[in-house]
Structure 1
Amino acid sequence: MLGIAPTRTTNMDPVKTDPAVRSRPAKSATPSSSAVSSSHSLPSSINSSAWQAASEDSVRLWMSELRWYVESDCSNVLHNKAIPQQQQLQHQSILRHQNCLPASPRVSIEMLELNSRKLLADFNAVLVSIQSSQLKRVHPLLSALTSCLRGFLQNLHRLLSMQQPVSLPILKPQAEVASFREIEETLLTLCSNLDTANSELLDVYLYAMSLPAVDARFLVMNGHLPPVDAVLRLLAEAAEAFAAVLDAAELQLLERVVNAVRCKTSGANFTAALRDLLRLAMKSERLSCLVAKAEAVETVLQVCSDRTQRKFWPLALRVLSCVCCVEESIRRFDQSNGLATVSGILGELGNSELVRAEAAGVVAQLTSPYILGKGKDLLGCLTSHAESLVKSLTLLCKEADCHDVFLLASAAIANITFISPASFEYMLKYNTVRALVDACQLSKAASLFAKDQVATVLANMAAYAWCHQSLTRHNAIELLLHFLSESPMGSCRYASSSSSGVKSSACERLQQKAAIALGRLARDASAAQIVVELAGANRLAQLCRRPEERNNSDAVLVAALAALRQIHDSVGSEDLEERDVVQLIRPRLSEAFLACSRLDESYV
């Protein structure tokens, strides 16, 4: 039996022992029976070598192990103490606010979001420590994590119980309430299992530390140590249960906000509830999905259908445009026939420009290429409302006095052109091209972003030969050549460093789309001749030869080379020889690209 070697107590002795702790090394030097039995059986030769190594200097061994027993307790105490550091101030304010009545469910959700980010960071710290084999850090980190999870559940119950009830009661299915309790009990059970696994991991780690290096490496190589697989599995299950508890709690709070909208009590509370939905939907796609599950889309559409709530339409439409960025929201929007409601608001001339602009923002959001892939069922509905949407948006582009209004309307039209060719017939019917070209002569379309939307419409229309005559008649070629003259150096000369990159990208897209549109229009010989007469070929050649004019963009280079070749095929090489662009056309496209590209090549 391993014990403490007898020592003589003098004033010079560095260590004083007491009878109460003399039996401790026997337990600490050798792992507990439960820990050893939970791992694989150990060879007898290794056990005998461990006993022999421990008996050489038991006091030194006990001192080396003593810090592992107190480190977890010290870590737990420090974790609960308020450390006055800058990164802790925000978390401290959240904890202090949990002891008082929250101002609204939105504030409660924001508090939960901040706490969840802190807990997710703790999950990640434990995972990184295990993956990097820093097992001595796992025990205090895992102990702190389980303690924080239990504290989170306690604060969650307190926070939900302090919420003020709304006048319209929330009737939750019994199965949903039971499911929330089951998830909570599952998380508590996983915390207990993690504590047990953490203790076993510590015991086995301490035992490995007591062995010689050769024997410890033998155990690790043969899979006996460390038993981290169970900890990783429990950690993954705890993270999943924590996410489920967080979603269920935030869904309850969101239902209170939606009910406040559904009640339509006072104007101030009604507006505050809509603003809360807007702020929460803008935070993340996960919260947008939870907002949709709380039936916010159906409730807000009812507001937009109620003419007595007309003064709240701009804010309600803004909520719809922010929420409808996830598949759940788009599906509910389609099931509620929301596009008909929005199209009606957009086409009603009695509505203010602000209301129609917000409705155009909803259409632009729903028809954007990124969003449209999430709601494929919405394609048929968009096609059926294409004529009314094109008519209303074209009129809004004509009447808009503000740059933001024109940008939303032109973006919606540009997105509709990607849906079906039928929309081009309505654009020719309602003179959409003329409205866009005329707007580009005014200040409301002076930005690169508005010009980008106009270039998108012109490029998509130029893909169809039956649209060429209308584009030529309404001076679209002159406008496209003006777009080619936009330079990223000139547009970003006085811009800040943060916005210069965004404007450079917008200028590249504008040049590329203008070159594509000119190349498509050049299939018509008369349109190609107009491009040559207006020195369009010279500008295309300049974009090819001067990389700084196109911000070193290879996409603009390819579009310009393709446009030059199409012009050459339509008008011949006689007029182009005088402009010294034939050498960009005669070689193959790949050779011309390599000659003009600024790609750095290394032959090392």
Structure 2
Amino acid sequence: MGDLRYMTEVECMCILQSKPISVDEDIHSELIINPEHVVRDNLQTLLKRASIVSTELGKMFQKLEKSRWQRVHSTAVRANCHVRSLVNEYNTFARNSPAEIQKYEKSLLEKCMELTTITERCIHTEDEYFLKSMKEAVHEILTEVSESFSQMIDLALANEIQVLVRQIESSDNIYTIGTAISGLLTLTQDGVQLCSIIAKEGAVVALFKICRQDCFSCLYALALRTLASICCVEEGINQLEKVDGILCLADILTDESSTEAARAEAAAVVAQITSPHHTFTQHLSSFLENMEDIVTALIKLCQDASSGEVFLLASAALANITFFDSMACDILLQLNAVRILFEACRDRKRVDTPYSKDQVVTILANISVLEQASLEVLQEKGIDHLLLLLSEKPSSGSPAEVSACERVQQKAAVTLARLSRDTDVAHTAIQLNCIPRLIELCRSPAERNNSDSVLVACLAALRRLAAGCPDSIEDTDYQQLIKPRLVDSFLLCSNMEESFV
């Protein structure tokens, strides 16, 4: 009876949604106020329906594994109803669905019916041998249903996305294009799989076409924000490279007539495509050709940023670029980046969160590899600020902010360790009482939020300072934190209870 309740509810829903409220064409046409809104709503509906079906199929795999045939059958009935609802609903709003989708629909519906029929037979028998053989057959059919369903959904999504892309490419109305781009941006938030489909359907090409036309300059920021979301997948970056998108980004960043919002969103795209987390961006040869212009524009954007968000996007792009190619650090030093970044850190309007400080200290840590960086930091009284960064604490308990504070502390210690190769820096750091703070971070897990990466960085900084000025550290601290091997000092200070051999 419990199963029946779910089955009848779904069945009712299936029947009701298969029937239009009205057959009057005039009334129907009045409801469609804007085609782009309809496409976007259709896609959202399709995604919600697909999520429900996927959940049901996943449940069926679990129940089948445990040979709970009654549950398998009831779930099969529900899945069958949901699939039929989805197909009917899609065919209602997609009036001209491609023949390939219709082929998948037919196959999928047949497989779902077969699944329901077979599982019904299984609940009426207790023959173990028969059930065992049926278990393999049902698993095979269920796998086929899952694959067919995924392929059909991908095709249906691609078909609807094509409508939005064609709207961007063919229209000359700013409102219409803006609405279509907003629809794509909304869809990019639904995961990487959808971003891949959007990229494959030509969205990157269409968006850069908009960004190359002065008459659409008011849409640059929206188009670039959408591009940044799409370029989280390899296909998006490949498409960007094919249409020479990096040159377009450089043009927007260096064009003084571009709005700050457009330049900030262009910086966001640069940050995305140069992310160290990507394993497929090292082939961006055109980026190296335009790197000097891009870095110059980004450090200027950091200097002139009117808000913390703009500064964060520009500094994140610069931080990623310093990982992407070491030449960027030389360019930044020539552009007085150390001074600009420390000035920004003293400006609460620009650097107002641990996330911004994380980007700043990342850039400084990478620049500090260069010998001439030491003089720049000393001139800007940067050691004082590194000491402040070593004391960074979250204002809230959110995991993201706590993690950002840990990264700030770790990278501040790394920067200090690298700069302390210079004896002047080491003496300045000791005079400013950096050593007591580093020792506190090593000895107090709460101060570093139990972070092992902060501990290792602080131990390395202490050892570098002690190498130049051994008298600056008390004997107890020296014996425990400096004299042993790094791993032994680490084990002594960490709060791990495991036994290491």
Q: Secondary structure at the residue paired with 1:385?
A: helix
Q: Which amino acid aligns with 1:253?
A: E
The 8 Å contact of residues 94 and 111 in structure 1, kept in 2 or not, is answered as no
**What is the Cα deviation at residue 521 of structure 1?**
1.2
TM-score of the superposed pair, with normalisation by structure 1: 0.75
2:103 maps to 1:182: yes
Structure 1 vs Structure 2 CA RMSD: 2.8
The 8 Å contact of residues 143 and 198 in structure 1, kept in 2 or not, is answered as no
Query: How far, CA to CA, are the matches of 1:142 and 1:474 in structure 2?
Result: 69
Query: Where do 1:266-415 residues align within 5 Å?
Result: 266-370=173-277, 372-378=278-284, 380-415=285-320
For the structure 1 residues 126 and 537, does the alpha-carbon distance in structure 2 shift closer, same or farther, using more than 3 Å as the test?
same
Deviations 1:178-227 (A, max 9, x none): 4334323332332343244335434xxx342xxxxxxx5xx44xx77452
Query: Where do 1:89-100 residues align within 5 Å?
Result: none
Q: Secondary structure at the residue paired with 1:523?
A: coil
Deviations 1:569-601 (A, max 9, x none): 123x12334896564212332332222222235
**What is the Cα deviation at residue 141 of structure 1?**
2.6
Q: Which amino acid aligns with 1:413?
A: L
Query: How far, CA to CA, are the matches of 2:472 and 2:261 in structure 1?
Result: 50
The 8 Å contact of residues 271 and 320 in structure 2, kept in 1 or not, is answered as yes
The 8 Å contact of residues 75 and 144 in structure 1, kept in 2 or not, is answered as yes
Query: Where do 1:378-527 residues align within 5 Å?
Result: 378=284, 380-443=285-348, 444-486=350-392, 488=393, 491-492=394-395, 495=396, 497=397, 499=398, 501-527=399-425
2:15 maps to 1:81: no
Q: Secondary structure at the residue paired with 1:549?
A: coil
Query: How far, CA to CA, are the matches of 1:565 and 1:602 in structure 2?
Result: 25
For the structure 1 residues 546 and 191, does the alpha-carbon distance in structure 2 shift closer, same or farther, using more than 3 Å as the test?
closer
Q: Secondary structure at the residue paired with 2:446?
A: helix
Query: How far, CA to CA, are the matches of 1:286 and 1:590 in structure 2?
Result: 42
Q: Which amino acid aligns with 1:125?
A: K
Query: How far, CA to CA, are the matches of 2:429 and 2:475 in structure 1?
Result: 15
For the structure 1 residues 400 and 225, does the alpha-carbon distance in structure 2 shift closer, same or farther, using more than 3 Å as the test?
closer
The 8 Å contact of residues 274 and 316 in structure 1, kept in 2 or not, is answered as yes
Deviations 1:97-148 (A, max 9, x none): 9987665101000011111111112212222221111112223332332343
Structure 1: runs of 5 or more not aligned: 1-66, 83-90, 164-176, 209-215
Q: Secondary structure at the residue paired with 1:81?
A: helix
The residue aligned with 2:461 is 563
Q: Secondary structure at the residue paired with 1:485?
A: coil
Query: How far, CA to CA, are the matches of 1:263 and 1:445 in structure 2?
Result: 42
**What is the Cα deviation at residue 318 of structure 1?**
1.1
The 8 Å contact of residues 168 and 181 in structure 2, kept in 1 or not, is answered as yes
The 8 Å contact of residues 383 and 419 in structure 1, kept in 2 or not, is answered as no
For the structure 1 residues 469 and 132, does the alpha-carbon distance in structure 2 shift closer, same or farther, using more than 3 Å as the test?
same
The residue aligned with 1:241 is 148
**What is the Cα deviation at residue 412 of structure 1?**
0.7
Q: Secondary structure at the residue paired with 2:293?
A: helix
Query: How far, CA to CA, are the matches of 1:420 and 1:505 in structure 2?
Result: 26
Query: How far, CA to CA, are the matches of 1:432 and 1:459 in structure 2?
Result: 13
The residue aligned with 1:595 is 492
Q: Secondary structure at the residue paired with 1:272?
A: helix
Identity %: 32
For the structure 1 residues 76 and 395, does the alpha-carbon distance in structure 2 shift closer, same or farther, using more than 3 Å as the test?
closer
User: Among 74, 77, 80, which residue is 1:143 paired with?
Assistant: 77
**What is the Cα deviation at residue 398 of structure 1?**
0.9
2:57 maps to 1:123: yes
**What is the Cα deviation at residue 245 of structure 1?**
0.9
Deviations 1:457-485 (A, max 9, x none): 11111223343333333333222122112
The 8 Å contact of residues 301 and 338 in structure 1, kept in 2 or not, is answered as yes
Query: How far, CA to CA, are the matches of 1:201 and 1:142 in structure 2?
Result: 12
Query: How far, CA to CA, are the matches of 2:248 and 2:143 in structure 1?
Result: 44
Query: How far, CA to CA, are the matches of 1:537 and 1:140 in structure 2?
Result: 67
The 8 Å contact of residues 519 and 563 in structure 1, kept in 2 or not, is answered as yes
Query: How far, CA to CA, are the matches of 1:526 and 1:331 in structure 2?
Result: 47
Q: Which amino acid aligns with 1:513?
A: K
**What is the Cα deviation at residue 545 of structure 1?**
1.9
The residue aligned with 1:105 is 39
The 8 Å contact of residues 373 and 419 in structure 2, kept in 1 or not, is answered as no
For the structure 1 residues 484 and 123, does the alpha-carbon distance in structure 2 shift closer, same or farther, using more than 3 Å as the test?
same
Deviations 1:141-167 (A, max 9, x none): 32332343233222221220189xxxx
The 8 Å contact of residues 540 and 560 in structure 1, kept in 2 or not, is answered as yes
Query: How far, CA to CA, are the matches of 2:18 and 2:478 in structure 1?
Result: 70
Q: Which amino acid aligns with 1:184?
A: E
Q: Which amino acid aligns with 2:370?
A: Y
Q: Secondary structure at the residue paired with 1:311?
A: helix
For the structure 1 residues 376 and 238, does the alpha-carbon distance in structure 2 shift closer, same or farther, using more than 3 Å as the test?
farther
The residue aligned with 1:539 is 437
Structure 2: runs of 5 or more not aligned: 23-27
For the structure 1 residues 441 and 148, does the alpha-carbon distance in structure 2 shift closer, same or farther, using more than 3 Å as the test?
closer
Query: How far, CA to CA, are the matches of 1:252 and 1:412 in structure 2?
Result: 34
**Which 10-residue stretch deviates more, 515-524 or 154-163?**
154-163
Q: Which amino acid aligns with 2:239?
A: R
2:427 maps to 1:529: yes
Query: Where do 1:24-103 residues align within 5 Å?
Result: 76-81=7-12, 103=37
The 8 Å contact of residues 73 and 116 in structure 2, kept in 1 or not, is answered as no
**What is the Cα deviation at residue 563 of structure 1?**
0.8
The 8 Å contact of residues 538 and 581 in structure 1, kept in 2 or not, is answered as no
Count of paired positions: 488
The residue aligned with 2:87 is 153
Query: How far, CA to CA, are the matches of 1:520 and 1:430 in structure 2?
Result: 21
TM-score of the superposed pair, with normalisation by structure 2: 0.90
The residue aligned with 2:25 is none
For the structure 1 residues 130 and 578, does the alpha-carbon distance in structure 2 shift closer, same or farther, using more than 3 Å as the test?
closer
For the structure 1 residues 554 and 300, does the alpha-carbon distance in structure 2 shift closer, same or farther, using more than 3 Å as the test?
same
